[in-house]
Amino acid sequence: MYALPFLDLPPLARAGGTVKLPGSKSISNRVLLLAGLAEGETRVHDLLDSDDTRVMLEALRTLGCGINHDGKVCVVRGLGGTLAVHEAKLLLGNAGTAMRPLTAALALLAARDGGRFELSGVPRMHERPIGDLTESLRQLGCRIDDLGTPGYPPLGVSGPSALALLQPIRVRGDVSSQFLTALLLALPLASNQGAMTIEVQGELISKPYVEITLALLARFGIAIEREGWQRFIVPANSAYRSPGDVHVEGDASSASYFIALGAIAATKKPLRIEGVGHDSIQGDIRFIDAARAMGAEIRTEANAVEVKRGAWPLKAITLDCNHIPDAAMTLAVMALYADGPTTLANIASWRVKETDRLAAMATELRKLGASVQEGPDWLTVSPPAQWHAAAIHTYDDHRMAMCASLAAFGGVAVRVLDPACVAKTFPDYFETLFKVAQAEPNDVPVITIDGPTAGGKGTLAAAVAERLGYRLLDSGSLYRVAALAALRAGLMDAEPLDEATIAALAAKLPLSFKPGRIRLGQEEVTEALREEAVGVAASRVSALPAVRRALHELQLSFRRAPGLVADGRDMGTVVFFDAPLKVFLTASAAQRAARRHKQLISKGIPANIDSLRADLEARDLRDTTRTVSPLKPAQDAQLLDNSDLSIEQSVEKVLEMWSARRPFL
């Protein structure tokens, strides 16, 4: 996950490959609540691991449910419809899917069995309305106190109190369907005194989410009867029965970003998305129809979708989006690539989500050059005549961040502010995106950090890469692996070295990379590479032109979105000669020897400072005087002498140099 203040995306060009979706948020949190209320154990497979589900799990734990989450399967031991804890404070973040149904369930349980519970969230949660739900629960006889602004969380629910169960319970359906969902999920708790009827007032919005609720209640043994979308009847003596195992589908709203990606950028082969398909119970799967209307070529399977670019530019559409409120945000960004203005209608619910999404979307799309009109419940987006590189605010809204990433296909770089907010539903969104979306290599920004040995390049490069969310190439380690392989093959004893054989070996090294780790075949060689003998051998093999050629392509292949920090000797002069920022890091030989000495002593390795210095100087001489790619600053390199700088200060200096070169205001 990118826990950074911002993540810069280069202009992206193509997409292809396969995406495995994380579990659906809506299904995950409903299943967790039902499992928490049911008797016995429920094994939940493919549960989404995100902020919102963590909040729900924590709440259930506080309420006394047994939760055992081993990463793959989450086992929930439910309460069996009665309270195990009679007083608790629940912190529910910004998870509407936890706040609404837990309020209803706890209000009913407290009324029936007695107790006192407080439910609160982050400040934005306290701006999201819940009054229509609390009103319905009060009609029933539940005791609910507004602990802040009336009609909004935080709330206190308490009991016992007498419930008036026989008349129909009225709930508004035109602000958020989550109020109805909350009642449907919780009312079975009070159904032992007879059947209960819910009457929806106003036109019910987001019906597909109510369908998910009904389908999952059915999985837990509760068959709600309904008359149209106006009346819902909870049968008498409904009891939650665990189905044993439940599999959570992939998230259809999350799928929308990849369906859009395929429509925009899968020009050769389709992009395959696994986890949802035409068997999905999630309403947002109908985003597929909207994407098709915009020109995408889509093929569906029961549990997968394949998407390819069809019409290009995309076709502008006008659509009532009431049935796909969340995925409709993705259409607003697809509209940037359309052949005219696209209008999304009937989306008033956007205003009460994680942020006012109508205002947020209009403001941010305008920054990219689009012209946008916004009404109380509609949005019209006309594609930019001229794209602008832009820094996109995300308003602590996961969907704003994921949408912003899709704006990187307009030929300009896009900065996504606070990218970590995707953790609400899709913690690995950007990592997943970069696996299937590619930039033209020349568009991928590279920062090169060259300089003599033991100058701290490696540490500096790794820290800069981490701060920017960029990939890292430690090119010295490639020469070191080649040297290690040559040493093991007994090739380092010959004088002169057998250049062709070592180069052939270097060209075929079975390498695999994980952040900070290198494997040679099955073996983890990260530590072995740091040995002094390997360093000396690396210095020798790196002077062989054929070895340098053999490793050239491999180094270039690290240049992938979102960006690269490369350290070595010839990163700025040869390999990435077009890098927009080249740093040449120097420090006196005395300083470098002193640092290396300290490092070795701290590891308990005996060392002599004079011989270390002599060794460094010999290596400097070999690196700077060799005929091929000698160590020297690139003409356009910025010199950075870190003799008197801490690592943090050096990192800040490089980040300053970098931000001066970025197109964002």
- Give least dist CB 457 to ligand DC, A: 7
Kindly give the residue spans of alpha helices, DSSP state H, lying in 580-608.
589-602
**Alpha-carbon distance 244 to 219, whole Å?**
10
Is residue 535 near ligand DC by the rule CB under 6 A? yes
In the complex with ligand DC, which residue's Cβ is closer, 308 or 619?
Answer: 619
With binding defined as CB under 6 A, does residue 542 bind ligand DC? Answer: yes
DSSP assignment of 361-386 equals HHHHHHHTT-EEEE-SSEEEEE--SS
- Closest approach of Cβ 525 to ligand DC, in Å? 13
User: Is the CB of residue 480 less than 8 Å from the CB of residue 547?
Assistant: no
HSE (CB half, 13 Å, CA atoms) of 191?
A: 24
- 476-499 core/surface letters (b: 16 or more CB in 10 A; e: else): bbbbbbbbbbbbeeebbeeeebee
Query: Please, which residue, 580 or 630, has the CB nearer to ligand DC?
Result: 630
CB of 640 to ligand DC, least distance (A): 16
128 is a contact residue toward ligand DC (CB under 6 A): no
Query: Which is closer to ligand DC, CB of 306 or CB of 615?
Result: 615
Our finding on whether 455 is near ligand DC (CB under 6 A) is no
Q: Is 559 in the site for ligand DC (CB under 6 A)?
A: no
Nearer to ligand DC, 231 or 530 (CB): 530
Site for ligand DC in 167-226 (CB under 6 A): none
User: Do the beta carbons of residue 372 and residue 365 sit within 8 Å?
Assistant: yes
Which of residues 50, 158, 453, 573 is near ligand DC by CB under 6 A? Answer: 453
DSSP H helical ranges for 221-311: 252-265, 287-293
Give 162-195 as a DSSP string: ----SSPEEEE-SS-THHHHHHHHHGGGGGGGS-
Considering only 83, 623, 642, 650, the residue that binds ligand DC (CB under 6 A) is 623
Selected range binding ligand DC among 268-276, 318-326, 418-426, 474-482, rule: CB under 6 A = 474-482
Query: Active site includes 493?
Result: no
3-state SS class at 25:
helix
Strand partners, 118: 89, 156
Nearest Cα neighbor of 575 from 528, 628, 524, 618 is 628
Nearer to ligand DC, 166 or 533 (CB): 533
Kindly state whether residue 572 participates in binding ligand DC, applying the rule CB under 6 A: no
User: Considering all CA atoms of the chain, what is the largest pairwise distance in Å, rounded to the nearest integer?
Assistant: 97
Structure tokens at 131: 């009054």
Q: Hey, which residues between 87 and 106 contact ligand DC (CB under 6 A)? A: none
The size of the interface with ligand DC (CB under 6 A), counted in residues, is 16
User: Is residue 475 at the binding interface for ligand DC, with CB under 6 A as the rule?
Assistant: yes
- SS3 call for 635: coil
In terms of CB distance, is 191 or 475 closer to ligand DC? 475
Q: Is 394 in the site for ligand DC (CB under 6 A)?
A: no
E strand segments, 184-312? 196-201, 225-227, 231-234, 245-247, 271-274, 297-301, 304-308
Tokens at 225, concatenated: 């009867």
Strand order in 41-45's β-sheet? Answer: 66-69, 73-77, 41-45, 245-247
573 in contact with ligand DC (CB under 6 A)? no
Of 476, 562, 563, 572, which lies in the binding site for ligand DC, with binding defined by CB under 6 A? 476
Q: CA-based Rg of the chain, rounded to a whole angstrom?
A: 30
Peptide bond into 383 cis (omega under 30): no
Question: Looking at 568, 593, 612, 613, which residue binds ligand DC (CB under 6 A)?
Answer: 568
Among 284, 397, 570, 615, binds ligand DC (CB under 6 A): 570
Q: Which is nearer to ligand DC, 223 or 618 (CB)?
A: 618
Query: Does 538 participate in binding ligand DC (rule CB under 6 A)?
Result: yes
Q: Does 539 bind ligand DC (CB under 6 A)?
A: yes
Minimum CB–partner distance for residue 8 and ligand DC (Å): 25
Looking at the Cβ atoms of 427 and 535, the one nearer to ligand DC is 535
Pairing relationship of beta strands 564-568 and 471-474 according to DSSP bridges? parallel
Of 8, 46, 52, 326, the catalytic one is 326
Burial of 95 (0-12, 13-18, 19+ CB in 10 A): buried
| Binding of ligand DC by 596 (CB under 6 A) | no
Closest separation in Å from C-beta 574 to ligand DC: 8
The residue from 357, 393, 480, 559 that contacts ligand DC (CB under 6 A) is 480
Q: Is 479 in the site for ligand DC (CB under 6 A)?
A: yes
The catalytic residue positions are 326
Contact residues for ligand DC, defined by CB under 6 A: 453, 475-477, 479-480, 535, 538-539, 542, 568-571, 619, 623
